[in-house]
Structure 1
Amino acid sequence: MSSASAAHRAGRAPGAGHRTGHGAALRHVLAHLLTPLLMCVGMGFAYLGAFATPAPHALPVAVVGSGPDAQVLAQALGDKADGDLAVRTVDGRDEAVRQLKERKIFGAYVPDGHGGGRTGAGRAGRGPELLIASAGSDTTAAAVQKVFTPVAAHAGAPLAVTDVVPPSGDDPTGQGLFFLLVALSIGSYASVAVIGGAGAALPMRLRALLAVAVSLVVSLIGALFAGPGFHLVDHGLTGVWGMAWLYSAGILLIGTGLHTFLKRWTTLGVMVLFVMLNFTSSGGVFRPELQNGFFAALHSFWNGAGFVEGARSLVYFDSNGLGGHVWTLVLWLAVGVAVAGVAWAAEARRTAPAPVPADEAARRQAEDEELEEALGV
């Protein structure tokens, strides 16, 4: 008897079993395609929302000079910018350089003959000068130049640009630390899928230890890239490595703990946290002064910003503000430890034997006593 005849006698159309199997497989594939489609939507919203229309928002800049001319110029710039600039005056060129190195301002305009101080000696009569610190952000430095070039042109003189904190010679755009962040992040959150999936049978304490060990390896790879590999940093490599380990360990512990609850949605979850919201708010491409309020707010406490700004502070800005950025990374690591601890407790409850009700326990005890009597024990 043919299979089609057997299917017909059983009340099924020929090929119905195959169609049913294909339908189930198709539904399974479509359900799993939801994750990459959500990633596509999320990445589009995050990257375009953060990077598509950069514009200054209360960008701190300064005009050098203490006289009425400097005050009038600063007031005129502030009024014309309509909130895009936060313009102040500083007494001399030396003070402007100090504030640039402390990242209190991101550009300082020195009118002709108003340099003042030791570092401004000899500039009188040589035209206006713009001081920038491009190691802090190449895009911010470009935005500052765009603001002050017309001011110099209006004065009828070419604008001399002085970069008081240039980036490393092997990292001319200053964005190498951001790409290092990308490498550390991918190594970290991709390892979460392996530890959570292939290591699902392991107890949480071993998975957590594995996460810390993997983060050490990821951070060492990052240090090799930053130092001998691409010469992104010429000093402070040990500190950059330490921050890389803190950063990677936080991601791995958070992701490993979340896997207990999110399961197959873990990849999407860690991508939202450590790609979509993280890369966009890190300050590696645009600092918060050039972004909208949402990403600017994230920059103040997100872990990617902690690493990028901490590394910049250590390598280029004499460690100004370094402590706050390190504390940001430590707090994210503490969150990772807490999430892993919650996951460990949840898994322990799932595997614990169900408690026996009191009446059931009494019944069992009575049965045991009857059996002992029957056996003469």
Structure 2
Amino acid sequence: MSSLSQAATPPLPAAQPDRADIASRDASIVLGLTLPTDTVLYLLLPLNAAAFGVTLAEAGLLLAANRLVRILGYGFVARSYERQGPRVACTVAAFGAAGSSLGYALLPGIWWLLAARLVWGLSFAAMNIATQALATAEPKNAARRSGKSRAIISAGPMVGLLGGAALAERAGPQAVFLVLAAVALLALPFAWRLPTGAGGPVKSPGPRFALPTRLDVWSFVQGFALDGIFILGLSVLAARAMPEGAVLAAGTALALRYLAEVVLGPPAGALAERFGTARLLVLVSLASAAGLLLNGLGALWTGAILVVLLRGLLQPLPAPVAAAAYPGPGRVPALARLATWRDLGAGLGPLAAGLLLPVLEPWLLYGGTALVLAAAAVAVALPRRR
């Protein structure tokens, strides 16, 4: 990525290169403090559906709703971000995150909770665009900033999952979300430190139904395979392998996912700066495909740990690759498209896993998924046609 869009934030002077680092760090802290309001819901809602006034089927709908609104709303959020800038976008989003968490705690029933999920979905979209756009605002050290950003962001869910589980045992799930709402409000001072926006022309993200680029396809496949098939399949295969401790084992693997991003995010950025971000993305994707194949062949925990660790390396890489491919005014729309395709894949992945795992052998499902992920990664490495 070359420079931050004129419509997004004022240009960062060359004499103060640390401004990009500071802005990226502050945006990451905002998302890190607010993201537990979502990740902890994934832990507590299915286990306590009745306490929230919903059925298990309705809980599944609620967990998917935030992705649906992001798929439909990323273009709008990207245009709003470019007009208003990261300070306004992240301040409003932090209030939205706190409000949605209060909704989980105080407003039981499907319709109130659905409204809260939709508010969270749009809030996350704004903060997600901000963290990626600010990390890639200056081309120099963009991958390094992206790696540090992922480490900061992932620390929030990692602590939130552990603390939320412990607090829920003692005080119930609603109390957890009251606490998380207060934690989300702690993000406001960091949001207010972000750069202000500047009015100006906004580049359209392109037709809603335009053909995806090869990077968009890779993002869809990554969401489908690593955030969809892998996560749901891990629970199912763990239950088959060890019925007694499946929940604890799968939950530990999920927490390890965020720990991997905290520990491996900064090294991933440094490696990308040295060897090339796109090249590293392809290599890590191919290695992740090998981990999925191991899962399917019966090496469940070896494959799971490999995929989780590689995901920690992979997370910081897509944004700098997209930024380099679509510099200038096309950068923020490209980041929004990338996130939209990933959400679409991550939403369809669990549905596919739920339908196919009962009827297909694991080696066939995971082998096919690994093959598609490897093919999408190789396609990213091919030269772009002008």
TM beyond 0.5: no
TM-score by length of 2: 0.28
Bigger RCO (CA 8 Å, 6+ sep): 2
